[in-house]
Chains A and B, each alone.
Chain A
Amino acid sequence: EAQVTQNPRYLITVTGKKLTVTCSQNMNHEYMSWYRQDPGLGLRQIYYSMNVEVTDKGDVPEGYKVSRKEKRNFPLILESPSPNQTSLYFCASSLSGASASYNEQFFGPGTRLTVL
């Protein structure tokens, strides 16, 4: 089944404790992206990757890191989480982002993160 998976789905942690949220897709998609969703603010893009070893900042990259060593995986790293990073996080992928017309993005199920 074609899908985007994220782990963990729920996470409660404490300020300053490094964490990683994994994201994997099995559709051979080039483009992958991370979003956070907060009430009243909608979906905001954190980082995206056009392909392996190519990553770029979205609108809210502060406090986050990503890497794209393999095509299928795009982990989101919070080196020192803070309470303002409490949010619902979505990973998404699409066939290609750099084309004449933008491709449909497939979203993962979401990770609800609480930082105390």
Chain B
Amino acid sequence: EDKVVQSPLSLVVHEGDTVTLNCSYEVTNFRSLLWYKQEKKAPTFLFMLTSSGIEKKSGRLSSILDKKELFSILNITATQTGDSAVYLCGVPHSQGGSEKLVFGKGTKLTVNP
């Protein structure tokens, strides 16, 4: 059975801290892994990762994929209160021309001033 597991499920830090969020997966026919940020509304796209070892970066956020060990990490440096959100990891499962998308349960990040 395909699964995506995120850890930790919840994290509380202070502004300025650096955090690392984890996503491990077991999905057949792996093609890509997606990270989303969800504040009090719809998820918004952060990164799509397809190749091992290539870091994707956007400001203070970065992410990397390890296809051998089947995981990805999302790093946030110098956290701000605006980074408080649920971070979702999703992995498409491709089979016979169809594509389901399986998400982890998310990591709830709280950044305190």
Binding site for B on A (CB under 8 A): 31, 33, 35, 40-45, 48, 50, 56, 58-59, 90, 97-98, 100-110
Contacts and interface: CB of A to CB of B under 8 A. Distances in A.
Nearest to B86: A42
B99 A48 contact: yes
Contacts of A56: 98, 100
A77 to B, nearest CB: 20
Contacts of B44: 107
Nearest to A44: B103
B42 A102 contact: no
B68 interface: no
Interface residues of B, number: 24
B100 A59 contact: yes
A48 B97 contact: no
Interface string B10-49: 0000000000000000000001101000000111110010
Given A102-B34, A107-B42, A109-B41, A33 B101 contact: yes
A42 B31 contact: no
Contact of A31 (B88, B97, B99): B99
Interface of B: 31-32, 34, 41-45, 48, 50, 88, 90, 92, 94, 97-106
B34 A104 contact: yes
Nearest to B1: A59
A101 B100 contact: no
A86 B48 CA distance: 31
Given A43-B90, A45-B100, A101-B31, 7 more contacts: A33-B101, A50-B98, A97-B92, A100-B31, A101-B48, A108-B42, A109-B42
